[in-house]
Chains A and B, each alone.
Chain A
Amino acid sequence: AQRVTQPEKLLSVFKGAPVELKCNYSYSGSPELFWYVQYSRQRLQLLLRHISRESIKGFTADLNKGETSFHLKKPFAQEEDSAMYYCALRSGGGADGLTFGKGTHLIIQP
């Protein structure tokens, strides 16, 4: 069975400090990994997908198959980054349902 673990329910950092949101997964095949973000009073939206290896809003995430991790990083946090962040896994094969972690609430303090 596939599983996504986000060990931190809450992460508080100061503005300008580096941020790392941890995500570990268990899956026997080759998964696709995503980070979704939910800002206050907004709907869940895609932030990053590992396939595109992009940087969005200064965030990056690298898939480490050896450590089965997909940690989300940003070198300098901004107050507008405060939100709930969810790591998700898609097993593929035509069935696209996502397996989500329980989320990390990121608070950026001024």
Chain B
Amino acid sequence: DSGVTQTPKHLITATGQRVTLRCSPRSGDLSVYWYQQSLDQGLQFLIQYYNGEERAKGNILERFSAQQFPDLHSELNLSSLELGDSALYFCASSSGLPPEQFFGPGTRLTVL
């Protein structure tokens, strides 16, 4: 499967903890995007990286950070977790033009 992959599929942790979500983009895609999907807020854009550099920021909390590595995979780090951080976290990638974003299957985070 050459599509966007995300690990892990599910993650259960406790409040105050820190977790790392991983995303591997489609082969050749330089842009990676992170989105959070919750019941009350819907799908929200968090952050975009392009070829290792931060390109755009959306509604990303200061407790959250991301990076994109030389092999273009990306990690989203969530720290000091709160109950409200429980959500589906999607990664998407694109090659640029046209700007179609291809989504991964998501990581479901549950904070207890």
Contact = CB atoms under 8 A, between A and B. Distances in A.
A96 B103 contact: no
Given A43-B105, A96-B31, 19 more contacts: A43-B4, A43-B103, A43-B104, A44-B103, A45-B103, A94-B55, A94-B56, A95-B56, A96-B33, A96-B48, A96-B56, A97-B33, A97-B45, A97-B47, A98-B33, A98-B43, A99-B45, A100-B44, A100-B45
A55 B92 CA distance: 24
B100 A49 contact: yes
Contacts, number: 56
Interface of A: 32, 43-46, 49, 51-52, 86, 90, 94-103
The majority secondary structure among interface residues of chain A is strand
B43 A86 contact: yes
Contacts of B31: 96
Contacts of B102: 45-46
Interface residues of B, number: 26
B16 interface: no
20 contacts: A43-B103, A43-B106, A44-B90, A44-B92, A45-B102, A45-B103, A46-B100, A46-B102, A49-B98, A51-B98, A94-B55, A95-B55, A96-B99, A97-B45, A97-B58, A98-B33, A98-B101, A100-B44, A103-B42, A103-B43
